[in-house]
Structure 1
Amino acid sequence: MSEPVRRHRRSSSTVRHGQLRRSSTAGVIARFVAAVLAVVLVSGSAIAAYAVWDIASSVAPPVTLANETPGVSAPDIDAIEGGVNLLLVGSDSRQGQDANLFGDPKKETAVLNDVTMLLHISEDHSSATVVSFPRDMFVPIPACPKEDGGTYNAMSAQKINTTLSYGGLACTVLTVEKLTGLSIPFAAEVQFNGVIELSTAVGGVDVCVAEPIADDYTQTYLDAGTHTLEGMSALQFLRTRHGVGDGSDLGRISNQQVFLSSLVRTLKSSETLTNPSKLFGIAKAAASNMTLSTSLSNINTMVSIAMAMKDIPLDQVVFAQYPTEYGDINGYEGVLPLKGPAEELFDALSTDEPLSLSGETGPGSVLDPNAPENETQEPAQPSPTPEGTTPAPEDTTAPTTAPTTEASAPGVVLDKSVQGQTAGDYTCSKGNE
């Protein structure tokens, strides 16, 4: 096994371009909403007015969700009141994409949501959780409205990635609402070009690779070390499944979380948040390459959600994978929901309990042994010794740190089947070589 390279060293990424056969588009909601906020806050008023108009004019016609109420006014540009549930969907559709890179859109047989992620922001804006739903998980799909009227029949068990083909973004939202018990008023869909342009607009994302990645399916080849990925290389990294961990979609999710956590750290860095040109580019790229729900298509709404997220500490931004086990239904292989651990997770989200992960990061990632120390944590100061007394000798037999227990852990300690990490955790992709 190759030793991971220290994070301050940067090697050039080698990603060979070829036709993409399957998709796993992904993004980070914070990248989208924080950018719009920063354009308004950092730019002068005239520039901000033009930026808002230009971004708004780029937004595609919105999708109306089943739970939206027509005529509700948009919030003021201030942190949104209360909590937020926002669903981000990555589509594998070739429509409107470069046929030379992504294949002929006329040959696609179905449009699948290969990435489905739910962002939950707590009522008091002290924490945020992003839950990834495995694409091959069997779930009940409710009756979904057709675009031309009528409804698709409800189904007791289908893979969650088929919901986009049955009833579009609105159907995916209805399915996740039924699965989690949460109301989801905001949603966005992103395609291939969106991931490419967004990763380029942010200036690239540093990812750590513990062992070399070699994936002939996505033409992704990366040596061990730290790579700055943007554009096509970022998309292919997010798509790779055969190149990481055990080659499963679950491994791909944990590999994506390596990218997402690093992206959140990049967005919260002062260099990104004080660069108006870069921030405008991010917002423009997002608006030009996303299909939004009606509730999210208003600039004020995007800004207010961003303001709710901007001060959340990194260790309170949790990336979690919906807990599953391997199984099959009627001879079709996939993964099945683990209902007990899942109920614990979403009950905690519904009541805004702080979350603590106890499981592993996932089969596609490992903790970075060369991660920088937490610079925000102040060292403990010794108690002052009264004048005229001698300090007691140090007890070298006692442990230097207390063991972590459920009683001392913050909030709800999730079952070990809920894998993931926080944005404050430095991790590396676990390659297949």
Structure 2
Amino acid sequence: MKTPTIARHGRLKKSNPFATIAKVLAATLAVVMVSGASVAAIAAYDLARSVKPSIALVGDDESPVSIPKIGAWEGGVNLLLVGSDSRKGQDPAFGDEDDTGDLNDVTMLLHISADHSSATVVSFPRDMFVSIPSCPDPEDPESPFDSMSYQKLNTTLMYGGLPCTVLTVSELTGLDIRFAAEVQFSGVIAMSNAVGGVPVCVGARIEDEYTGVFLDPGEHTLMGVDALQFLRTRHGVGDGSDLTRISNQQVFLSSLMRTVKSADTLSDPAKLYSLAKAALTNVVLSEQLQNIDNMVAIAMALKDIPLDQINFVQYPTGGAEGGVVPNVEAADALMAALISDQPIQLAGETGGSIPDPNAPVDPNATVDAPADPAAPTTAVLPSDVKGQSAGQYTCSDGRTLDDQ
């Protein structure tokens, strides 16, 4: 086997393509929810023609999946979504494609419980040092790369493509990941345009000269390049670290999920079709996920999960020279809950967001609702596990140039 070459990068623009998990969710929901026969038929044909080539993951050939054309996916689902920083094929405004690498600056795992009562999206810090298993060389599958004991997670896409990132996260979490997708800048822009913009709350002014984001406190409906730049900003939120950028991204994710699941979106076949095509034409999918039947089944497993049972979580870490390392105790608690399909309760403050003081009050909410004796026990996670649910309204905790 051979050892991959470590890429030496010069100083690049402070940027991070945001691969929201909701891209895949919206695409699959769209296929399910478009009810008109003629629209559905046209959409299925057009989407099948327009999707990008798929990527085979390790183990795909050994364990093919066959599911019904109608019905929810049986059992749990693990789906990895990766955001690449490559500028190849992107607008020149984001930089010269020859001056950038191909790093997975965003790595997110969607886990749907086997009973389809809850879903968790785990964001993995790009600068987290992990063990990388032996990965196949995309250009020479018969000569795999050597494993490595201590490398940053965001190098896995460069080493062995999407399959290598999947193998690494699977080894790290103990979860079997059957589906994966990769997206670049254009996918973020297309999806935010298709949904008609995402309303985000800014709690304190955001100022970031690197991404050109300058937003006053209040609500802003972001789409296109504005949405992308908001999701790339690091210097303008929290303490300026990648960790607080993750929590800022979760502000957007939660709002996007509420938007996608709202009546205004789900009752509009044209908008749903736009969402599906925007995702499928801008995202590279693994072979199992590119199968339309599989996408529909996953969507049906997701569509009835309440917002307060869809959690966005940051993988817990501790400090290390040049990056971060897994907080093993807290991470084990999180993964144990996901592996056993327990719903989770988060206690940690995120650091890059604050509660929305103008959050709507649900008049149907009950404080002392009786517990369902058949429901699985909720796992109360350590305070080091940070995040929020899609049902929580939060605001970005911005910072100005004076604090940078």
Q: TM-score, normalised by structure 1?
A: 0.85
1:250 paired with 2:217, answer no
Question: 2:383 is matched with which residue?
Answer: 416
Where in structure 2 are the equivalents of 1:11-26 lying within 5 Å?
21-26=13-18
Q: Which amino acid aligns with 2:50?
A: S
Q: Which amino acid aligns with 1:247?
A: G
Q: Secondary structure at the match of 1:144?
A: coil
Where in structure 2 are the equivalents of 1:329-348 lying within 5 Å?
333-348=322-337
For residues 82 and 37 of structure 1, the distance between their equivalents in structure 2, rounded to whole angstroms, comes to: 18
Where in structure 2 are the equivalents of 1:44-193 lying within 5 Å?
44-69=36-61, 71-99=64-92, 101-108=93-100, 110-149=101-140, 150-193=143-186
* Identity value in percent: 60
Match of 1:216 among 209, 216, 221: 209
Where in structure 2 are the equivalents of 1:379-394 lying within 5 Å?
none
For residues 357 and 379 of structure 1, the distance between their equivalents in structure 2, rounded to whole angstroms, comes to: 18
1:278 paired with 2:267, answer no
Could you tell me whether the CA contact under 8 Å between 1:22 and 1:92 is conserved in 2?
Answer: no
For residues 257-282 of structure 1, the C-alpha deviation after alignment (integer angstroms, 9 at most, x for no partner) is: 00000111111110100101111111
For residues 164 and 98 of structure 2, the distance between their equivalents in structure 1, rounded to whole angstroms, comes to: 23
Q: CA deviation at 1:37?
A: 3.6
For residues 339 and 236 of structure 1, the distance between their equivalents in structure 2, rounded to whole angstroms, comes to: 32
For residues 26 and 246 of structure 2, the distance between their equivalents in structure 1, rounded to whole angstroms, comes to: 23
Q: Secondary structure at the match of 2:83?
A: strand
Could you tell me whether the CA contact under 8 Å between 1:323 and 1:417 is conserved in 2?
Answer: yes
Could you tell me whether the CA contact under 8 Å between 2:31 and 2:296 is conserved in 1?
Answer: no
Could you tell me whether the CA contact under 8 Å between 1:240 and 1:252 is conserved in 2?
Answer: yes
Q: How many residues align?
A: 380
Question: 1:306 is matched with which residue?
Answer: 299
Q: Secondary structure at the match of 2:385?
A: coil
Q: Secondary structure at the match of 1:417?
A: coil
- Any stretches of 5+ residues in structure 1 without a counterpart? 1-19, 382-408
Could you tell me whether the CA contact under 8 Å between 1:117 and 1:132 is conserved in 2?
Answer: yes
Q: CA deviation at 1:115?
A: 0.4
Distance 1:292 1:35, change over 3 A: closer
For residues 359 and 379 of structure 1, the distance between their equivalents in structure 2, rounded to whole angstroms, comes to: 21
Question: 2:261 is matched with which residue?
Answer: 268
Q: Specify the structure having the higher radius of gyration (Cα).
A: 1
1:292 paired with 2:268, answer no
Could you tell me whether the CA contact under 8 Å between 1:39 and 1:276 is conserved in 2?
Answer: no
- Any stretches of 5+ residues in structure 2 without a counterpart? 1-11, 370-375
Distance 1:148 1:422, change over 3 A: same
Question: 2:8 is matched with which residue?
Answer: none
Q: CA deviation at 1:148?
A: 1.9
Q: CA deviation at 1:288?
A: 0.6
Distance 1:241 1:319, change over 3 A: same
For residues 279-335 of structure 1, the C-alpha deviation after alignment (integer angstroms, 9 at most, x for no partner) is: 11111010110010001001111111111111101110011100011112xxxx101
Q: Which amino acid aligns with 1:185?
A: R
For residues 375 and 162 of structure 1, the distance between their equivalents in structure 2, rounded to whole angstroms, comes to: 47
1:27 paired with 2:15, answer no
Q: Which amino acid aligns with 1:54?
A: D
Q: Which amino acid aligns with 1:364?
A: G
Q: Which amino acid aligns with 1:418?
A: V
Q: CA deviation at 1:354?
A: 1.2
Distance 1:277 1:357, change over 3 A: same
